[in-house]
Structures are given as structure tokens and as C-alpha cells.
Structure 1
Amino acid sequence: MTADSPLTEERSSSDFDDDFEPLDEEGAPELASDRYLDRELSWLAFNQRVLELGEDETVPVLERANFLAFFASNLDEFFMVRVAGLKRRIDTGLAVPTNVGRAPLDVLADISAKAHELQARHARAYQDGLKPALASAGIRVVSWDELGETERAHLRDYFARQIFPVLMPLAVDPAHPFPYISGLSLNLSVRVRNSRTGRQEFARVKVPQMLPRFVRVAPAESVVDARYITLEELIANHLGDLFPGMEIIEHHVFRVTRNEDVEIEEDETENLLQALERELLRRRFGPPIRLEVTDDMDEVTLGLLVRELDITEQEVYRLPAPLDLGGLFDLGRLDRPELRFPPHVPATAAQLQPGEGKIRPDVFAAVRRRDVLLHHPYESFATSVQAFLEQAAADPDVLAIKQTLYRTSGDSPIVEALIDAAEAGKQVLALVEIKARFDEQANISWARKLEKAGVHVVYGLVGLKTHCKLALVIRQEHGELAHYSHIGTGNYNPKTSRSYEDLGLLTADEQVGKDLTRLFNELSGYAIEKKFKRLLVAPLHLRKGLLKLIAGEIRAAEEGRPAGIRIKVNAMVDEAIIDGLYRASNAGVPVDVWVRGICSLKPGVPGLSENIRVRSILGRYLEHSRVFSFAGGGDPQVYIGSADMMHRNLDRRVEALVRLTDPGHLAEIASLFDLAMDAGTSSWHLGADGVWTRRSVDDSGHPLADLQNKLMHEIAGRSRTGKRR
């Protein structure tokens, strides 16, 4: 079998178990004990890369606002989940997994120090960089003191009509205990003096989250030259209306982050839906793990908050106002297209374009002719995956549709297509993962809506999250049943498909269809199916399969045959995989790792990883696809799918990778890696010390190529010509 030929032999993932040979360690030098980078600090390094985009003056100003907002929301989730999980395990005496061999409390202290540093830098990026840049573009964020009487009069009227009625000042005194402070809410701490008794009191005012964070000062101002004031400052300058007859002594802004890491003790006898709903109620009342306060807060107020919230000094973050720069998303939505990235309309994949004189393509006919490799958002999700499922729902020859749903969007056309299919009498199975973090409530709602329409809804296997991205359509054709499959790297979410970079395969290959049939049976019933011909499936086979492929590259290098490993993932943490890559490097195998977020692997260490390069690319789109490419001694083995190299993906989730076999698709993946790893492409390079260095200009100061821009132009061009590799 040559590199250019389609796959002719049946490879089973069970082969990766039955004849699995561990990497040969005999005679190999022992790997260094300090060979891993700390995963939590690596995550903070990822968020620092997001921050660097917010600081970049070459990025359009409203996109910079969005990047600073993403940094803030990312960090919120990091505290709510990762830091909260570490603290909970430390507090309860549970073992804390760490791959760096250091005490958990030391790790927590390092996280705190780095987080303090990054939050201070984030605040400076707004105050010294973004805010002046916004002002130069006619978007001025002003304080109350900068306003004239006319503007103040307008805002007083706006406050009285739109804000005052929804505010709820809460006093703290012997008759009023300290109020519950909801996680991520913005609050005003107010100290007042009773004019009759002279007694000082404390009150809390919650800033309503459903109101605009930035209030337009004067609606008559042009959109290209407008002033805005933060909602909390507007409220702060009307506290007299909330506390009539009281003297306002101090007011400050604060914000609490709580532990929102949901843990469900799954019992096969209990209704999972009810257990999850009960746990979601508990989430709201998780213990505080971070307190952000404005840097002008007085010690009396701070002491009260620290005491009542049971917060340590390490968990207090003093920052200049405004807090919660996630609110910058509001400014990022302003109608100023000239201050954003140029618009990009996803192209319809060349193979899925309608024939001459037709309005819509026949997706089934196109896929029968040849497998279709999709690359979103450069290629349209709506005219490919969505069209595939909508055509299946409407086609009278389609007998069944089976689909996994991990995260989807409001009013999802994917869900509507499944409902339409069920109502048309087709057999429809939806495997809804209701434990998808922070989408639990939405997925519960989808599950119930699907059930009411007659869709068979299941929630996967006890103890595992179903993270694989799979759709299977069974169609009657000429008296036989044909299988049409989609295996992707991203969620069935039309909204995020416009901003997440993902790959997907549409295929009529019967073996893939049979593999998916068996996998869906395992997920919805009691079947235990070990053999898959074109898939690698976690948790049983995926890590073993990848380790065997790595071992194959080591043997190829030792035998003088073509060898090389290229991996693109969101996270590279799993120690077994990393050690396999280290041993491959020591055997002379060139290894390229393209990672968006966490990376615990140390590249470029003599005697350990001198043949490994690690790159990261961030930009207007979120790099999200997962690709595993092995030279195979001249017979490339290339997989795409849903799995990152993390313990949770390989051990506690159902994940699936599918092997690509079309020579054109293999060439396309090779070209993608060539571009990402090219010295002329803008990217971050990871050093052996764990430091990421951005390389966006060449030695002459000229900008390096932007991978995403280049792909936009290349894919749009081939769509116009109707040609693909």
C-alpha cells in the first residue's frame, strides 16, 4: 500500500489492544523526573497569549476589547473550576493530581502569584492601552466628573426610569445578616452614617446583570463619536436616592468568584437528570475562592468582606476600576464594523455546491461520489453539516438518524431537524450530554424538547461524558441500507461554527457507518463492542492506539524509513503520550505539536526532546480541531476527532477519532501543518523553560504571515474555482 492509495486493508482499533506492544524502554535512558510543565501554570500562560492579543496595537480596536473580555471570562472559569477543584481536594484531604512533583499548596501559591500578576497586567492593558485607543476611535468611556449638567440631567432621568426600580439595597445590621453574594456578580459596598444616631452601617447594592454594562451618555451623539459611563459608576452617583436621609461615607466595587465545579455522584439506580438539576442548585452556593475589589477600598470594608466571605489574603485581588472587564463584550458589539476584523463569509465546500440550475445541493449524492473533508469556519457549517441533517430529516428514503449533542445553540436548526425527522416518522436517536460544563441547564431543556417530539433521548454511559461528535444517517437505496456519517472535531453548534476552527468528515464509507452503528448501540444500550475498523475510541482504545502509532514511528526511524509525528490539539497533558513523544524524539523522530492551550511537554531539552517543536496559534478564530498524523514509514496514518491529550478525554470520556484515507485529504492536512510550523508564520514558540515567545515579525520588522488569513483566502479561492486537493 502506497502513500497515495486509498485504504484497502481493514485496520481495527482492537488491533491496538490485542497485539499492543508498549514502547520499548529496554536500554533507553531513564526520562528526567522534572520532564513535565505544570498544567495550571501552562493554562495561565495560554490566557496570557490571549491577553497579548488584547495588547496588540495592530489588532482592530473592538477586537482588542473582545480579547480582553475573553481573558476575563477565561480567568473566571479557571477559578470556578480548576482553582476551586484544587482547593476542594486540598481542604477535604483528597489526593491532588500533579505532574510536577510539588506540594499542592506550593502549586496553589504559584497559581495565585501568576494570577495576581496577570490581572494587574490586564487592568493596565485596559487603562493604558485599550481605553485611549477606543477614545481615538470615538468610543469614550468617561467618569461622572467629566460630564456637564445637561448630560447629568439626562442620566439622572435614565437612572430614575430604567435602573432605580430594579435595584435592591441590602442593609447589614443586627436585624439584617450579611447577604448572600452571588458568584461573578458586580456589587457596590456602601458605608453610610445615620444622620439621627450618627451610627455607621454597611449595605450592599448588586449591579443588575441584565442591564447594559456601558450606558450611553447622550443618545443624540453620533455612533462614531459617543461617550459611555459604566453602569456601576452611574449607580454609585445616585446612592442618595437609595439611602435617603443617610450620609454616604464610602462606596467601592467588589466581585466574588465561587466554586462552581459540579460533581455528580452517579448512581445507576438514580435518575441522572434529577441528580444533575439538584447539583446545579448547589452550584450557586459554592464557597468563595476569589475576591476582587477596587484598589481604593478602605480597610474597614475590606476587613468586613474578608471576614464574612471567609476569604484569605492570597485570594484578594486589588485592581483599578472598572472590575469585570468581561463587560467589554458590550463595547465589542457596537455597530462600528470598521473597527473589527474584515467580514468573512464562509465558503460552501466545492463538492457541496449546487449543480447548474439547482438551488440546493444533493448532499447524499456528493458524499457518495467522494468523502468530503470540511474545514470550518472557512467552509460553511450551514451548507454542509446543517444541510446534511436537514436533507436527511426531509428525505422520505431516510429511515433513521443518530446524533450526539454535547453543546448546541439556542433555536438550533440541528435540534429542529431532529424534531422534524421524528415527527415525520423516522427513527431518531439523540445522545445528549447533559453534563457538559456550564451548558447543563440548556442541554436539559433540549433533551426534554426532543423527548416531547418523539426523539429517543439517552444520556450516555454512567461515569463517562460523551464528548465525541458523531452523526449517522441510514438511508434506503435500491433495496439496500446505506450509511452516511459525519465525524467532527467540534460541536453541532451553528453559532460557534462561525468562530471555532474545526474539521469534519462526511463519508458514505460502509465501514465507518458500521463502526458508528456499533458505537451508538454501545452508547444507547448494553452492547460492549470492542472492534472498530476506522475509528479509535476512548476510553478503552484511544491512548493505546496512539501509543502504538508512536511506537511504529520509532521503529520506522530505527529502520531508516520515513518517520514523523504531527499532532494538533487544544491541550497536551497526558503523561503516557508525552513520554511516548519524548522516546520518539530520542529515537530521531521529528515531532511537531501544535497546541492552543495547555502543554505540559517540554520541547528542545537535550537528551529528552531536542527533536520536538511546540507552537501555538491564536487569532480571530479559536483553534479547536484535533489532528493526529503519523508518517507510517511511507503509509501515512492520519486521524481527526474530538479528543485532547488529557486524562479526562482518554479515561473519562467517550471520544472518537476517524482515520482519513483520501489522498487529497492527507495532502491537505500535511499542508496545514507545514503552514503552521513554518518560520514565516506568526505563532508562539514554547521553550524548554515553559516560556512562550511570540514571533509575529521577522528580523526586519515585517509582519509574519497570519495562518488564518491565509486559509481564508486559499479556501475562498478554491471554492470559487470548484477545485480541491
Structure 2
Amino acid sequence: MTTTAAPFSGNANAANDEATANASDTSATTVPTLDDPSLFLNRELTWLEFNKRVLHEATDTRVPLLERLKFIAIVSSNLDEFFMKRIGGLKQQVGAGMSRRTVDGRTAQEQIDECNQVVREIEAQKLTALVDVLEGLREHDIAILNYDELDQADEAYLRDYYYQNIFPLVTPQAIDPAHPFPFISNLSLNLLVQLRYPGKTSKTTLTRIKIPVGAGIPRFLKIHNKNHFVRLEDVISHNLDMLMPEMEVMSCELFRVTRNANTERNEEHADDLLIMIESELRDRRFAPIVRMQVQAHMDSVHRGMLAAELHLDEEIDVYEVNGMQAMRDLFELASLDLPELRDPPHQAVDHPELKDSRNIFHIIRERGPLLLQHPYESFGTSVERFLREASQDPKVRAIKMTLYRTSSDSQVVRSLIRAAQNGKQVTVVVELKARFDEAANIRWANRMEEAGIHVTYGVVGLKTHSKIILVVRNDYGGLKRYLHIGTGNYHAGTARLYSDLGILTNDDNLGRDATELFNYLTTGYTPQRSYEKLLPSPKMLKQALLAKIDRERKLHSEENPGLIQFKMNALEDADITRALYEASRDGVQVDLIVRDTCRFRPGLPGVSENAKVVGIVGRFLEHTRIYYFHNGGDEEYFIGSADAMKRNLESRVEVVTPVEDPKLRENLRFLLDTQLQDQRSAWDMQSDGSYLQRQPESDDMIIGSQALLIANTEKRAKQATKHLRGKRAKRPGRNLR
């Protein structure tokens, strides 16, 4: 089916509306200047457009039912974080009286107002999608049942299960003059219960009950051995007599709040960064509420009372939900072990060169560099193996790495601890301010320090977002540096779900650059640091990208056309956007594969007619960053951790590395071409910022780019296995048949 996303929200004022019309009208004679706000799409609104594309997967009948349910949960989780991070930050700007407009011409309040409108549209679409998916699941005897659908036996079973396993955890809190309004925790589900004393017809009281989801308590309670479930809040609300015996229940209404997550302090004034981050986490728990969701038709008095107690604007900050709240919990059901309702199972293959059981450093030295493609190729048998062997290899002298996010059962950290126990010098730069992973990173940092690892927290004022490991080994010719540089976190869980790239190499120049980088990260000293190949931010990357874009524009000719291709999560930086407009205006073909936020508008007459913006949505989250320049035929490929966002280029330590090996470039070219030609999973941005999903012209084009990449890596792995078996068969001393 062909689906066009709703037209992108208009500009903040009439002047911008007129400018947009002029920019989009092919009959207009005036071409806007590159500083015109109409040329720049809004960061927040384009991110919401991305979630519309994700939500579309939940409505696409080509997608298996449990995967469709998963996409509803993903969008719900994304919107929760959007309010915590983005709306929370905008509200802080409004509260501080900031009136400065963004590059797209909007004030903070205008952005909040427009975002609220789009979010309400997405929420309505999400509820419709959920109804359709649940109807489809019922055909497979999978159901979320309402309480009135239960028979007496099921009611009795749930009541007993609740009493034995959950009831002791539930604590009702009265709301009356003797009991102050209770604290409402972030993203918690709550029941507001109105009770009446028996025999006192006019005497009522309100009680809040927090639904104890989490810490082993599921949101959806399973009935016997069937795939029939009942929401926990329904079980509690229909068994209130256990909590408040003999009281008459007048009403029972569900609500949920979202708190601001922007509680960062100025670390330049902190005596101890660890203590400061722990204080931020405590502050976040009590941060102001930025959204309240209430069930449809909640009593207007109760709704107003909640809004007043929580200091919310009832018209703006309160969202009425005509259906299930907290749909992020649908991940519980989306993970049901029913293969017929899920995508075909995907098992990452070993990198062809890493099927060899020899020492990984010998493999890199003899066959490297190696390009790793996750989740198509295994993280465990590549990156985790790299660190595991480094921790055990007696010739390895030192390991240095950056750590932004990692898994709760991290093999990466275990290898680092083992390396320290084996007497190696281990240094880890831990980013304590990785949003929503601060507590986990503090725990890992403490554990590593206890093991004798030198833990540092990077450069004051800059987040360390780079993904790099440096291993120093005493090879036969002296000390040799081995590197892993990637686009994704050292996280085994996300390595199975996110598409990322990494490179394993022993390039001397990159090794020297990495040493300079770690010396900078562990000291913060910047004078006279030079890099031969690496492009780190904030010192070099942005300037290098702007210079290369400008060079492409100047080298462009009819005989040797210019070409720029970027693949990234987000294009938000205004300077990069202007430079790309300028290159496109001068004839350079600009191909952008952007996952979510994108300020650039393709197809504008006289400005971006030579440009296109493509978004890919599939079973894996696109997370790869690739920068390609034709460069007059002397092509350049780069991969790394940085998106083209102002924060990444100016306020974070990022690393982008050139990819120079011809074989690795072939793999990158295949990836870019496959996604640019995708007819199943690709969406084309229109000049107004909306997106149109591509449609296969024939059955052989139905396979999306991610499926093609799976097939390609599996093919290469099989060829490598066959080749390796042939080599083993030819070894002396074997009986050949």
C-alpha cells in the first residue's frame, strides 16, 4: 500500500509560511537565501515524523503480528523519552523566559504547541493500530481480555494469583487533609479511586494506588496455560475489596505521569563528577512533570484536581487516552515464543576472516583490516573476542577503550577486569552522563576501579561518545597497536538489534592517532595535538566535513560530476545543512540516508533539486554512520560514531575514521547502494518534510535492504567456510578422499 505521512507541520508564523510556499512553488522566481528559516525543518517535528514511519510498520499487513505489536511498543517508548528529554528541555527554556528562535524560526513554546498536536495524532493512530493487531492476534487465540470477558473460574484464578503474588506489594494512599498528595513516580501507572463510607451517602474520599509493574511483576497476567492475558490494573481495580474492605467504590480511574529528565548540572563546577551524577539521578526522580495521561471520560473534577496538584496546564499537558496506557509494556507480549507470528529468526554469522581459530591479532596483522557489520555479523565472535583474547594474550601490554553504554551482563567489562587481573594496563573512559544509563555506568565504573582498572570520565564539559578500543601488543617487531573503531556501543544486546559498523585494524597511523586521543581523554590537555587520519570532534570533524563538502562542490563538473552520500541517524547541524544545500545548488548529487531528525529539504527548485533524503525502517534500528565523497574520482569513505548534529560535532568527543582498503570500500558501497535502491523499506522525503513509502514494482523487489544484507553476509560466511574446509583438507598429514 502507498502511504503518505501527514503533511509536515507548517512554520511558526505567517512570514515562514510565505517563505515555505515560495521555496516549494516551482513557478516562484525568487530562490531563498541559505539562511532562510523555511529551508530548515524542525528537529523535534522531523523526529516525530520518524515515529510515524515506525508506527506504519504496525499497520503493514506484510509484517508479522507480534512484530507489529513490537513496533507499537517502540513508538510508545520513544514518545515517553521524547517528553522526558525534548519536551522537558523546551519547557525549561520557556520557564527561563528564552525567546530566541531556532534556525527554522520557532520559539520553544511554538515547538511545544506544534509537537503536542502531532503527538496527539500519533497517539490516535497508535490506538487504532493496536485494535487491528489485537483483532489479528485473537484469530491465533492470543488475547488481552477485559474483565467482563472472564468466566468465574478465570476470575477466581486471577484473584488468588493476585492475592498470593502481588497484593502484599500494593499500598493504597489516601488523599485527604490528613494525608498530603502522594508523590507520583515517573512513568508509573496509577489508579485514582473514589470511595464512600457505608451508610454515609455524602461522605467520599480519594485514594491513589500505584500499579506495581516491574521488578519481576508483569503488566499482563497470564490465565492458566493459554495465551490469554489480563492487565494488572484491571485485576487490581476489580479486587479493591481486598485493599479497602466494606468500602463502596464510586469510581476507579487510571492515570500516568511523565517527568522531565533534563536535570544535568554544570560539571565544570563539580568537585566530584561521580557524586554530581548521582545527585542528578536523585533530582530526576523528583523533576517536574511534563505530561499526564488520563483515561477517557475521567471525572472532570478529578482530572482538574490532579492537574492542579501536579502543576500542569489541563488544556496542554493532559492527554486523554481512549484505550490502553503505557503501551511500552507490550514488549512483554511481543516477545512471546511463537515463531509463526514473528520475523524469520536471524542468527548473526561469523565474519569470514574470523572463522579461523588462530590468534585474532595474527589474523588482523595478516588479513586486516576487517570490516564488521552488525547485527548481520556476530558481535560476540568479533568485538567480544577481540577483548577476550586481549585480556588473555601474554603479549598484550595495555588496553584502552571508551564506554558509553554496555549490557547488564557485559562480557566486555568482564574481559577488561580479567585483563587487569592478568597484569595488563587497562584504562577505560566511562561516560557517566549517557542518558538513562547513568546508574548502570556508575556501577560498572565502581566495579572496574575495584579490579584495579584506571577509570576516567573524559573531558570536562564534553560527553565521550566515541567507540574505540586500543590494544598495545608486544609483537615480534616491537610494540604494535591494534584498534577497533565503531559506529555503535559496546553493548551485546543492541548489537543484535541495531545496524552498525566497526573496523579491526593495526594501521600504524590510526594507532598513533588513537594514542593521542586517549591521552586527550585522560588529561583534557589539547595543545598541539595532531591527527593524521582520525577525525575527532570537537576539534576537527566539523571543519573537515565542511571542507570536504566545499571541495566536492568545487571539483564538480559535467565531465566528472560530484557526489556526496551520507548515512546517519540525524542531520541537525545548520552549518552542515547549509553546506549541503550549497553543494546541491551547484550541481553536486547529494544522497542522504537519514534515520530520524533531518533539517534538509530535498527537491526545492534552485536549491536542492539534486538531492534526495531516504529513510529506512525495518526489523533492525538503523544506527550506522557513513560519510562518502566522490572527490573527483579519488573516493573517500569514513565511518564513525558521530551524526551531523551540533551536539555531536561541537560538544562531544567523537571519532570518525577513513576506510581505505578496497575490499572494505566494496562492502560499504554495497550497503549504500542497497539502501538507496530499497523498494520495500525505504521512504522518500518530500520537499515539505513529509515522507512517501516506496512500493515494489515487481515481486523480486519485495525484499528490503536489511534482508538483502542478511543474505549477503550469510553468502560470504558460507563461502568462507567452504574455503576454510578446503585449506584444512590440503594440510599435510590429512587423509584426502
TM-score category by the smaller chain? over 0.9
CA–CA separation in structure 2 for the residues paired with 1:319 and 1:326: 14
Q: Name the counterpart of 1:613.
A: 612
Return closer, same or farther for 1:526/1:466 CA change in 2, 3 Å cut-off. Answer: closer
Which residue of the partner structure matches residue 177 of structure 1? Answer: 180
Deviations 1:462-489 (A, max 9, x none): 0000000000000001251101001000
Relative to structure 1, is the Cα distance of residues 103 and 94 closer, same or farther in structure 2, using a 3 angstrom cutoff? closer
Counterpart-to-counterpart distance in 2, 1:710 and 1:477: 39
Task: Tell me the residue number matched to 2:455.
Answer: 457
* Alignment partner, residue 364 of structure 1: 361
> Which range is displaced more, 78-87 or 189-198?
189-198
Asked whether the equivalents of residues 551 and 584 of structure 1 are also in contact (C-alpha less than 8 Å), the reply is yes
Q: Match of 1:690?
A: 689
Are the counterparts in 1 of residues 459 and 524 from structure 2 also a CA contact under 8 Å? no
Q: Which amino acid aligns with 1:381?
A: F
Pairwise CA distance, 1:196: 4.1
Instruction: Give me the whole-angstrom Cα distance separating, in 2, the residues matched to 1:439 and 1:325.
Output: 22
Q: Is 1:207 aligned to residue 211 of structure 2?
A: yes
8 Å CA contact 2:45, 2:115 repeated in 1: yes
2 CA distance for matches of 1:33 and 1:167?
52
Q: Is the 8 A contact 1:627 1:638 kept in 2?
A: yes
Partner residue, 1:65: 69
Say which SS state the counterpart of residue 566 (structure 2) adopts.
strand
Give per-residue Cα distances to partners, 1:544-594, cap 9 Å, x unaligned.
Answer: 000111011111104843420000000001010011100110111001000
Is the 1:593–1:615 Cα contact (8 Å) retained in structure 2?
Answer: yes
> Helix, strand or coil for the counterpart of 1:100?
coil
Q: Is the 8 A contact 2:618 2:681 kept in 1?
A: no
CA contact (8 A) 1:81 1:259 kept: yes
The DSSP-based 3-state class of the residue aligned with 2:58 is: helix
* 1:350 corresponds to which of 349, 352, 358: 352
TM-score, scaled relative to structure 1: 0.92
For the residue of structure 1 that corresponds to 2:291, the secondary structure is strand
User: Which of residues 88, 93, 97 in structure 1 aligns to 2:97?
Assistant: 93
Partner residue, 1:379: 377
* Paired residues of 1:252 and 1:296 also in contact (CA < 8 A): no
Indicate which of 435, 438, 444 corresponds to 2:436.
438
> Given the alignment, which residue of 330, 333, 341 partners 2:335?
333
**How many Å apart are 1:720 and its aligned residue?**
0.9
Is the partner of 2:251 in helix, strand or coil?
A: strand
Q: Which of 485, 495, 498 is 1:497 aligned to?
A: 495
- State whether structure 2 residue 112 is matched by structure 1 residue 108: yes
2:54 maps to 1:56 = no
Please tell me whether residue 471 in structure 1 is matched to residue 475 in structure 2: no
Match of 1:406 in 2: 404
Say whether residues 1:243 and 2:252 are aligned partners: no
Matches of 1:521 and 1:325, distance apart in 2: 45
2:197 aligned partner: 194
Report the AA paired with residue 184 of structure 1. Answer: L
Report if aligned partners of 1:570, 1:624 keep a CA contact under 8 Å in 2. yes
Could you tell me whether the CA contact under 8 Å between 2:678 and 2:705 is conserved in 1?
no
Compared with structure 1, are the counterparts of its residues 703 and 331 closer, same or farther at alpha carbon in structure 2 (3 Å cutoff)? Answer: farther
1:90–1:96 Cα contact (<8 Å) kept = no
2:159 corresponds to? 156
Q: Which amino acid aligns with 2:504?
A: L
Is 2:680–2:701's contact at 8 Å kept on the other side of the alignment?
Answer: no
Distance 2:578 2:670 in 1: 27
The answer to whether the 8 Å contact 2:637/2:658 transfers is: yes
1:429 Cα deviation (Å)? 0.3
Question: Which residue is equivalent to 1:134?
Answer: 137
Matches within 5 A, 1:220-259: 220-221=225-226, 226-259=227-260
Q: Partners of 1:501 and 1:232 in 2: how far apart?
A: 37
Contact 2:144 2:228 in 1 (8 A): yes
Q: Is the 8 A contact 1:682 1:697 kept in 2?
A: no
Q: Matched residues in 1 for 2:679 and 2:281: separation?
A: 48
Aligned CA distance change for structure 1 residues 658 and 164 (closer, same or farther; 3 Å): same
- Structure 1 residues 665, 706: CA separation in 2 closer, same or farther (over 3 Å shift)? same
C-alpha distance in structure 1 between counterparts of 2:702 and 2:205, whole Å: 59
Alpha carbons 2:463, 2:652 under 8 Å: kept: yes
Q: Would the aligned equivalents of 1:86 and 1:96 in 2 still touch at CA under 8 Å?
A: no
Q: 1:679 to 1:269 in 2, by over 3 A?
A: closer
CA contact (8 A) 1:89 1:96 kept: no
Cα separation, 1, equivalents of 2:679 and 2:285: 48
- Give yes or no for contact 2:571–2:599 (8 Å, CA) kept in 1: yes
Supply the distance in 1 between the matched residues of 2:634 and 2:151 (Cα, whole angstroms).
73
How far 1:654 sits from its partner (Å)? 0.2
Farther-moved stretch of structure 1 (40-49 vs 300-309): 300-309
Alpha-carbon distance between aligned partners in 2 of 1:449 and 1:544, rounded to the nearest angstrom: 38
CA deviation after TM superposition for structure 1 residue 102, in Å: 2.5
Residue type of the partner of 1:154?
Y
8 Å contact from structure 1 (residues 562, 632) kept in 2 = no
Count of matched residue positions in the alignment of Structure 1 and Structure 2: 685
Say if 1:581 and 1:381 are closer, same or farther in 2 by CA, change over 3 A.
same
Please give the alpha-carbon distance, in whole angstroms, between the structure 2 residues aligned to 1:29 and 1:250.
Answer: 58
**Alpha-carbon distance in 2 for matches of 1:641, 1:595:** 15
How far, CA to CA, are the matches of 1:659 and 1:120 in structure 2?
45
Q: How big is the shift at 1:178?
A: 1.0
Between the aligned partners of 1:702 and 1:632, the Cα distance in structure 2 is: 34
User: Which residue does 1:311 correspond to in 2?
Assistant: 312
Separation in 1 of the partners of 2:703 and 2:80? 32
Alpha-carbon separation, structure 2, partners of 1:396 and 1:97: 58
In structure 1, the partner of 2:581 is 582
Asked if the contact 1:538/1:653 (under 8 Å) is kept, the reply is yes
- Report SS of the residue matched to 2:166: helix
Deviation per residue, 1:146-172 (Å, 9 max, x gap)? 111111111111121112111011110
Q: CA deviation at 1:191?
A: 0.6
Q: Is the 8 A contact 2:426 2:453 kept in 1?
A: yes
Q: Which runs of 5+ in 2 are unaligned?
A: 1-30, 724-737
Which letter maps to 2:207? A
In the alignment, is residue 216 of structure 1 matched against residue 218 of structure 2? no
- Greater mean deviation of Cα atoms: 141-150 or 86-95: 86-95
| Residues 169 and 204, structure 1, Cα contact 8 Å, conserved in 2 | yes
SS of the aligned residue for 1:722 comes to helix
| Alignment deviations for residues 586-623 of structure 1 (CA, whole Å, 9 cap, x no partner) | 11100100011111110110111011110010111111
Give 1:705 deviation, angstroms: 2.8
For 2:121, the equivalent position in structure 1 comes to: 117
Using the TM superposition, give the Cα deviation of residue 97 of structure 1 relative to its aligned residue in structure 2, in angstroms.
Answer: 5.7
Q: Write the distance in 1 (CA, Å) between the matches of 2:330 and 2:112.
A: 29
Q: How does 1:37-56 map to 2 (within 5 A)?
A: 37-56=41-60
Contact kept? 2:351, 2:382, Cα under 8 Å: yes
Instruction: Quote the residue 2:25 is aligned against.
Output: none
Unaligned runs of 5+ in 1: 1-27, 355-359
* Structure 1 residues 286-297: aligned runs within 5 Å: 286-297=287-298
Contact 1:460 1:466 in 2 (8 A): yes
How much has 1:494 moved relative to structure 2?
A: 1.0
1:539-558 to 2 correspondences below 5 Å: 539-558=538-557
What is the CA–CA distance in structure 2 between the aligned matches of 1:453 and 1:524, rounded to whole Å?
A: 19
| Counterpart-to-counterpart distance in 2, 1:36 and 1:540 | 26
Larger mean CA deviation between 313-322 and 452-461 belongs to 313-322
CA contact (8 A) 2:499 2:620 kept: yes
Q: Is the 8 A contact 1:558 1:587 kept in 2?
A: no
1:145 aligns with 2:142: no
Report if the CA contact (8 A) 1:422-1:428 is conserved. yes
**1:220, distance to aligned residue in structure 2 (A):** 3.7
How far is 1:311 from its partner? 1.2
One-letter code of the match for 1:626? R
CA contact (8 A) 1:268 1:462 kept: no
Whether the 8 Å contact between 1:627 and 1:639 is mirrored in structure 2 is yes
